[in-house]
Amino acid sequence: MTEPCPKIRLDKWLWQARFFKTRSLAAGQVTGGHVRVNGSRAAKPAQQVGAGDVLTFAQGHHVRVVRIIAPGTRRGPAPEAQALYEDITPPESRDSAPPNPRYEGKGRPTKRDRRKLLSDGSGPLE
């Protein structure tokens, strides 16, 4: 007989794989509807996930897409956590973010220089 694939709670896996610093932060993301499992929104943090499931969630300003390889047994060091998943996030183009304003000088710009930077059309004070 074949053994069933081991499953683990979604919030616990996200914490063990080091995507979130605490388990309660991971549970909050799941409860808030920000995590998708195999394309459908995760209903609760206790949802069971296992090898082969695809998770989609926001981390910072980026959307991460990962495929679970193993459920994991503990929250170990980073190399151990990275072995739990395969990152299939599509690469982002560098042109999507606006460039930082340039300051032609040395050191930190003065208050006057900062006003000039904002009035040149690169800031919100047009």
pLDDT tens sequence for the chain (126 residues): 567 789 999 999 999 999 999 999 999 999 999 999 999 999 899 999 999 999 999 988 889 999 999 999 999 999 999 999 999 988 876 566 666 766 666 778 788 888 888 877 655 544
In which domain, by residue range, is 110 found? Answer: 98-126
What does the pLDDT read at residue 56? 96
Q: Name the amino acid, one letter, at 112.
A: R
Cα(92)–Cα(79) distance, rounded to whole angstroms?
A: 24
Would 2 be classed as within a structural domain?
no
What does the pLDDT read at residue 94? 58
What does the pLDDT read at residue 117? 80
Residues 67 and 105 in one domain: no
Would 1 be classed as within a structural domain?
no
Dig out the tokens for 123 from the structure.
Answer: 């800031």
| CA dist list (Å): 71 to 15, 16, 76 | 11, 9, 13
- How many domains does the chain contain in total? 2
CB-CB neighbours of 9 under 10 Å = 20
Would 26 be classed as within a structural domain?
yes
Q: Cα dihedral angle (80, 47, 92, 101), rounded to 10 degrees?
A: -90
CATH number at 40 reads: 3.10.290.10
What does the pLDDT read at residue 126? 45
Residues 85 and 103 in one domain: no
